[in-house]
Structure formats: C-alpha cells, structure tokens
Structure 1
C-alpha cells in the first residue's frame, strides 16, 4: 500500500498563537501531512480534518501498515487533547458499522418522540439462513420485502444490495449482513449533506414501490450508488406506480436529526439518507454516511471553510461564551446551503485534512486585524485549480465583508 495516498491537509497559521502586526493578522493555511512521517514534526495542529475510512477499515482487518498509520494518528490525538478532530475516530467507526449506526438512529428517534419519524426495523444476520431464520426476522418486526445490505457502510461493496421478497429468497442472503424492512417511498431518496451547523438537501432517484408482503418473484440485486445517481433512469427507479404521500422532508425534523447526531457522536461531516413513507408521510433514516462525497453541493468548500473558522473561533481563548454560538442548523432545499457564521480575524489555527480526497495545495487566509470586520482574502502559495481558487477567494471576501 502506498502510504502517500493517505495524507493530511492542514489549515493553519504557522506556529500556534502566532503574533500579529499592524499589517497582518493570524494566517490560516492548509497543507498536506504525510502519515509515513512523525506527525509531531509536521505540527503543531489546531484542527485535523480527515477521511481515513479506507485506512480504518484496513486496520480493523489487521492490515499491518494500516494499523501502524492509524495508530500514529491516534497517538498524536491523545498526546494533543487540545487538537480538534473532524471527526473523532470512534465516531467514524460507529458510522462504518450499519448495525451500530442503525441502533443509534433508533435511540435518537426514541428520545425525540416525534411521530413524524419512524425508521424501518432491522436485524443482523451473521450466519447462513436456517429453518429458524424466518421466525427471528418476524420477531424483529421485519416484513417482506426487505433490503439486504453489507454490515460495513463504506467502500464499493457497501453499495451492493438485494431486495428479498419471500422465504424462498433467503437462500440468496450472504452473511454477515444487515437486513432492513423496505418502505415504499415513491422512488425518491433525499440525501442530507451536513457540514457543521449547515445542511443541504439533495433529491435523488430511488427504488420504485413494491407490494407489501411476500411475493412470488426472485430477489433483485442492485448497486445503490448506481440507482441513486442524479441521472439514473431504469425500471428499478420507475415512478409509474406513485401513490399516496409525495412530499420533501420537514426542515425541523432534518434539523433535529442532524443536531442529535452531531451531539451523540461529535461529528460534523456526515450524510443522512432519508425517505418519506408514501402511506404515512413519516420520515425514515435508511443510512448514515461518514464524510460523504458531497456531490450536488457546490457550496461545500464554502461551508467547510466557514465551519473550520467557526470551530477555531469557538476554541480560541478570546472567543465569546458558547451560548453566543448559533444553536440551529441553517438549511437549503437547493444544492447550496447557507452557513450562519463568518470568518473573523481572531480565529487562528492549523487545520489538517487526512485522506485520499484531501487537496495538497496550501491556502492562506489573511486580513487586517485592526478592523472589527475585515475583508479577508484567500491566497494560494502553490498551484491549484484557477476556478477553485477564484471560488474560495470570492467566498471568503464575501463572507468577511458582510459583517
């Protein structure tokens, strides 16, 4: 395995708590960290942003090199409790396990006591189906048809699923897996992309309606990623038999679900797959994803930069009390979410982004510290896409000048 594919990107200001002068405030920059080298020599770090999902899974499968690299990150985090981690490794491990994430969402729904939410029952199958399997399924409240998914919620194989219509189809179930009752939802999936206190709702195609109860038909095998692509169109996603309730999720339900997940796990970057039961209009969470691809969210980098700044400001010695922070999520039903907070000159810090999708190009945010609401600019001290560079520069300038 090439360790250089597992890098860290770093937003920071040079030495933590760097000095200011009359012309410049603290600088926030981003650069890549090399996990094959000691992290102590690449710090200090104020914030680590990572996508180590592949590496964590490989480590959990006892890949020697992955174990060492993940342990290196963990050792740094434990040695520097002041460093903010987006997101905590234990939380990522929870989201990588569908059983654990489903248990969590059911506990959250029990606490919310909101009749508008009713996620489908599920159970884990660790062995081949036997004579007593159907009885166990019924005891867990599952009904035909149901969806069969891998327990691991990340990677190419995690998208390979099956719809099981009858007891005869149980022979096609390949353990270990998670099975989940199928809920008719008029072939519409709502993907909720969360970045801190902001979320974006994106509508995608999904599986068509099927008759409730056992059916004399063969199991359907499909790739959920292909089914839910924006341009997806097939017999599986047909809307010819749409009936009952067809409505988008409620803002306050999504806001509360997102807030509860952030509080329960301490996560900031995640996705929630939501469907609307076409008979009851209830919201059902069918999956939670750690650091999703944010496809269809053009404001992602805008929102991420703002969230980083907000996190750094909240942990700054000069920051106001937590009660002054926004308590509700900003939302958007278009592929663009509005984040309520804006960069300030008093939010210095170093931020590292770990993972294959991390950029290797440093950024620097600069502003005049003598002004309460400075116009900040995002400078680049190495090559990056001109379009992305222009987007980031205009984003920071617009947010800062609006204060």
Structure 2
C-alpha cells in the first residue's frame, strides 16, 4: 500500500475526537500518507487522493439553508465526479439519508422482515411533519398501536439539537413536541445501551448507560427533557440512568444476531463507517434497534486505528484488482452512487 494518499475531510470537533494527528502518525508507519482536506480551498490543488474519508454532516445540513455551504458541497461533489477513481467513504446519498430520522427509522422498521430469523426489531414510531391539533396526533398513535411513554427526537440526526430529546408520558405531554420530529415507543431495557461500532467488515460492541425503566401506559408525570450525550456517554452520571428497582441482569445481545444486523445494514446503507444503538427488552429479550449513527466517535474501541487502516487498505486493494471498466468503489458491500 506504499504511496497511498488518504484525504480526511472532518470538522474540527470530529478531527479532535478521532485524534486525527495520532492516526496520521499511525498510517505513516504503514506507508500511508494522511492529508487533511481544506474545503475552503480547491480540492484539485490538494489531491490526488486514492480515498477520501469524510464526515460532511455539518455541510450537508447547513446546505439546506446556507448558500456558502451549498457551494462547498457542490465543489466537493464536482471534484469527486471528476475523479471517479477516488474512493469515497462513505457515499453522500447514504450519509444524507441517515441525517434524516424519517428516512433512517423507515430503514430500521423494515429490518424485522430481512432479519426475522434473529428476533430483531425496532420500536413503533410516528413521524410528525408539522404542528397539528393534538387529538389528531393522539388518534394516529392509537391507530398505529403506539403506547406511552414515548421518546421524542428531532428529525435532523446531527448537531447539538439532535441530542435534545424528551420522554412524554401522556396525551397532555404531546403539547411539548416541536415538529418536525419522531415519536418513538419507549422500550424498557434495564438502563443498558449497546453501541455497535462498524468499521467495514469488523464491528465492536460497547456497553453504555441508558435510560431507566418507566411504567408502561399513560400517567400524569410531566415531560422529561434530556440530552442523550449526558445520558449515554461513557462518563455519564444521571438520575435518569439509575434504576428504581432491583432487576436481574439482562442477557447481552447475541453476537450472531449483531453480526447479522451489521451485515444487513451494510447492504441496506452501502456504508462502512457507522454505528447502531441497540437495546434488549426486559420483557421479551428482543434485540431492538433504536438509532443508526454516521461515522460515530468509536469511544471504547481500542482497535479503531488498525481497523480503519485495514479497511482502507482492503477497499483500495479491491479497487486495484477490479477490471479496468470498474470506475468507482464505495465503502459498503454494494455499489452506491456518489451524487446527491
């Protein structure tokens, strides 16, 4: 893999969390050059790149309303289109759909069809496009069999606001929602979250704290507003994660089921760098998928550097061995377009 150039396109925050400087040193020891891409400058002057690893979430979200971000995204896409031999981790359309919980939750809701042998599901949910009258929302919940309590999450799955969530316990609490948003059935899971970190064909399971159990059904409890980062980070210490009752330990997710879930999502998403949040229901022990995340932090994965470099190498080796007619290879097992 000597002489390979890998471009990284990350926000300052993501760059620090990943410790890109340390990764660059690690890669240098394996004959791979890491180049930090400056999106404010022409990419043609910074290339060529054998592969570009990116998390353009900020740019994609801002491009919805900001002309400068639109231009930055257009310039990036123009460069990728003009250099079809440059591999993109991950395809922009795949990343864009995971930024929209309306789209990603639909993917999650279909998993039980393809993974029926593994007893994998996702909670029932309702999409709220705009503020309407509460009785109609309540009727929609009843029609779809979605019961309280509910977790309310923003439609956009990126940025600080995406971590601001709420627990709603009754029809009266629906007045607290701020559309567009998703209302997701809350599944009691013993205050344990399993984060599955995916790097190509490898994945790692890390246990994190999570929300405690709540009684099923509506009650007069006021809406609880919380930040998911403050609840489920490794260092989190919140009253919301402290169980009110003694309960036996839940069995961990089946490693075979998690592997099947990862394989299916890699096909469905066409991506290589993502995370899946799963819980185990205290009542049914069913493996329940509650969120999918783009290029997560990989905290608690000591093999991340070696796994990422190994995947980069395997993708480029595959590209080199492909026929001359093959012009684009993506991070996932199935080809996906790089256009928006």
Band of TM-score, shorter chain: 0.7 to 0.9
Which one of the candidate residues 32, 36, 45 is aligned to 1:28?
A: 32
Partner of 1:305: 309
Which runs of structure 2 are paired with 1:142-153 in the superposition (5 Å)? 142-153=146-157
CA gap 1:245/1:103 in 2 versus in 1, 3 angstroms? farther
The 3-state SS of whatever aligns with 2:253 is: coil
Structure 1 residue 92 displacement after superposition? 0.6
Give the Cα separation in 2 of the matches to 1:163 and 1:104: 23
CA gap 1:88/1:99 in 2 versus in 1, 3 angstroms? same
Q: Which moved more, 1:69-78 or 1:237-246?
A: 237-246
Larger relative CO (CA 8 A, sep 6+): 1 or 2? 1
The 3-state SS of whatever aligns with 2:58 is: helix
The TM-score with structure 2 as length reference comes to 0.83
Indicate whether 1:78 and 2:81 are aligned: yes
Give the Cα separation in 1 of the matches to 2:154 and 2:128: 10
The 3-state SS of whatever aligns with 2:84 is: coil
Q: Could you say which structure has the higher helix fraction?
A: 2
Per-residue CA shift, 1:329-388, capped at 9, x if unaligned? 9xxxxxxxxxxxxxxxxxxxxxxxxxxxxxxxxxxxxxxxxxxxxxxxxxxxxxxxxxxx
Give the Cα separation in 1 of the matches to 2:203 and 2:250: 21
Structure 1 residue 50 displacement after superposition? 0.3
Give the Cα separation in 2 of the matches to 1:245 and 1:118: 21
Give the Cα separation in 2 of the matches to 1:264 and 1:119: 15
Partner of 1:91: 94
Structure 1 residue 126 displacement after superposition? 1.8
Contact 2:189 2:279 in 1 (8 A): yes
Partner of 2:71: 68
Per-residue CA shift, 1:86-139, capped at 9, x if unaligned? 000101111111111110122232122235212101111122241221111122
Contact 2:10 2:54 in 1 (8 A): no
Indicate whether 1:194 and 2:198 are aligned: yes
Which one of the candidate residues 177, 180, 205 is aligned to 1:176?
A: 180
Give the Cα separation in 2 of the matches to 1:284 and 1:133: 24
Partner of 1:286: 290
Partner of 2:108: 105
Contact 2:200 2:311 in 1 (8 A): yes
Per-residue CA shift, 1:229-265, capped at 9, x if unaligned? 2232332111242546601111111111111111122
Indicate whether 1:217 and 2:236 are aligned: no
Contact 2:230 2:236 in 1 (8 A): yes
Give the Cα separation in 1 of the matches to 2:221 and 2:42: 57
Give the Cα separation in 2 of the matches to 1:140 and 1:265: 26
Which of the pair has more CA radius of gyration? 1
CA gap 1:318/1:100 in 2 versus in 1, 3 angstroms? closer
Q: Which runs of 5+ in 1 are unaligned?
A: 13-25, 320-328, 330-403
Q: Which runs of 5+ in 2 are unaligned?
A: 1-8, 25-29, 324-332, 334-340
Structure 1 residue 225 displacement after superposition? 0.7
Query: Superposition RMSD on alpha carbons, in Å?
Result: 2.6
Structure 1 residue 35 displacement after superposition? 1.8
Structure 1 residue 220 displacement after superposition? 0.7
Which one of the candidate residues 171, 176, 183 is aligned to 1:167?
A: 171
Aligned length: 304
The TM-score with structure 1 as length reference comes to 0.71
CA gap 1:30/1:225 in 2 versus in 1, 3 angstroms? same
The 3-state SS of whatever aligns with 1:297 is: coil
